Amino acid sequence: MPRVITIDPEHPDAAALEEAAVVLRRGGLVGIPTETVYGLAGRALDPAVLGRIFAAKGRPTSHPLIAHVEGEAQARVLAANWPDVAARLAERFFPGPLTLIVPRAAHVPLELTGGAETVAVRAPMHAVARALLRAVGEPLAAPSANRYQSVSPTTAAHVVESLGDRVDLVLDAGPCVHGIESSVVDVTVDPPRLLRPGALSVAEVRSVVPELLVQEGLVAKSGAERASPGLDARHYAPRAHVHVAPSQAAAFATVSAAVAAGKRVTLVLHPPIRHPILAGDHLRVIVLPESASGYAAQLFATLHAADAAGSQLIVVEDVPTGEAWLAVRDRLRRARA
Ligand code: TXA
Ligand code: MG
């Protein structure tokens, strides 16, 4: 198992940060907390390190990584040019849970971008990630610290469970605040386009970019059609089969039938609860928060817990329609693919 160091999320200990920085400078991989999910960090401009990240995740090398930076100035160095929209978004949301797709500067390795002429940049808000970026002094690639196509980690324990010794060191700063990945906006196209709904709401992005193009259910069919590799239909999937029921009544009906057939089931509900809840040996019932952001913060941890409990089926009551729920609906769609 990798070494795990507990670190204060707001006032990170200098010795722990330095230990992580040493691992990174030597070309190692560190599991780091961010405000969205835990990342598998390594030096973003070193092709050998990038190779280790892809191998650790079991992720195809055509899937580009996000370069994590301290702020807009460091991001600009990675970009061939910095569109006006990028400047406006960065001014408002860097640091924060927003990833921008911009034209790639010539020195940015194609291994980072999956061969693309664009590069993803994000300045995380988490104090540990920021302090580590400052200590290392160069951009860090940090995909979610999980094996390819499985549920993103929102705790250090999830990282250890998914990656084991494939990561050299993990900084444990407790659960991630947002619990869902950053929103990805492509500013190389006009109008700018939301590629991945995430922790930063569409409304917030729109407040700066009213013309933002948002398409629900973006799923890549093939490499050529793929606007963003994270859009693969299957992504974020737990081991258990996920069934999204159209209503609470339908969810209870599906659960009853499955339990009667001897299956171990986790039922995930959204308030208000309209049925008496009868949890039992084979049935775990989880009621997630009513708000979209509260729900998102706990969704991945709930899926991880269902797997850990040995559930064979996860029945999720569908969530509300509306843009605030876009990121949650997106992850539920991919979890059941
Ligand atoms: O919240 C996050 O963004 C987390 C934390 C750790 O920072 N990181 C993360 O990284 O989710 P990853 O590698 O799992 O997701 C990166 C996503 C890709 O799936 C893809 O959608 C998009 O960023 N992406 C990266 N480079 C791109 C590019 N050049 N063009 C289009 N999309 C790109
Ligand atoms: Mg991921």
- Predicted TM-score (pTM) of the model is 0.95
Confidence of residue 336 (pLDDT cuts 50, 70, 90): confident
Q: How far is the CA of 245 from the centre of ligand 2 (A)?
A: 25
Residue of 50, 65, 99 with the most ligand 1 atoms within 8 Å of its CB, for mutation: 99
* Amino acid type, 321: T
* Cα–Cα distances in angstroms (integers) from residue 99 to residues 142, 184, 271, in the given order: 12, 5, 31
Scored b (16 or more CB within 10 A) or e, 25-35 reads eeebbbbbbbb
CA angle 190, 191, 195 (to 5 degrees): 105
39 lines ligand 1 (CB under 6 A): yes
Tens of pLDDT, residue by residue over 69-114, are 999 999 999 999 999 999 999 999 999 999 999 999 999 999 999 9
Tens of pLDDT, residue by residue over 213-261, are 999 887 543 343 445 555 566 667 899 999 999 999 999 999 999 999 9
Q: Does the pLDDT of residue 203 top 60, yes or no?
A: yes
In whole angstroms, give the CA distance from residue 182 to residue 192: 16
In whole angstroms, give the CA distance from residue 337 to residue 235: 8
DSSP secondary structure, 81-148, as one string: ---HHHHHHHHHHSSSSEEEEEEBPTTS-HHHHTT-SEEEEE----HHHHHHHHHH-S-EE--BSS-T
146 lines ligand 1 (CB under 6 A): no
Q: How far is the CA of 317 from the centre of ligand 2 (A)?
A: 24
pLDDT at residue 97 in the model: 98
Beta-bridge partners for 184 = 99, 196
Q: How far is the CA of 187 from the centre of ligand 1 (A)?
A: 14
Q: How far is the CA of 275 from the centre of ligand 1 (A)?
A: 39
Residues 70 and 134 sit within 8 Å (Cβ to Cβ): yes
In whole angstroms, give the CA distance from residue 70 to residue 75: 8
Report, as an integer, the average pLDDT of 273-286.
88
Residue of 101, 118, 228, 231 with the most ligand 1 atoms within 8 Å of its CB, for mutation: 228
Question: Which residue's entry shows tokens 């693309």?
Answer: 116
In whole angstroms, give the CA distance from residue 273 to residue 248: 8
Beta-bridge partners for 120 = 66, 101
Q: Which of 73, 154, 59 is nearest to 112 (CA)?
A: 59
Residue nearest to atom 30 of ligand 1 (CA): 228
Q: How far is the CA of 71 from the centre of ligand 2 (A)?
A: 22
Element (H, E) at 53: helix 47-57
Q: How far is the CA of 122 from the centre of ligand 1 (A)?
A: 9
64 lines ligand 1 (CB under 6 A): yes
Q: What's the gap between Cα 97 and its chain centre? A: 10
127 lines ligand 1 (CB under 6 A): no
Tens of pLDDT, residue by residue over 33-62, are 999 999 999 999 999 999 999 999 999 999
181 lines ligand 1 (CB under 6 A): yes
Give the nearest ligand 1 atom to 116 CA.
29
183 lines ligand 1 (CB under 6 A): no
Q: What's the gap between Cα 110 and its chain centre? A: 22
* Amino acid type, 168: D
pLDDT at residue 225 in the model: 42
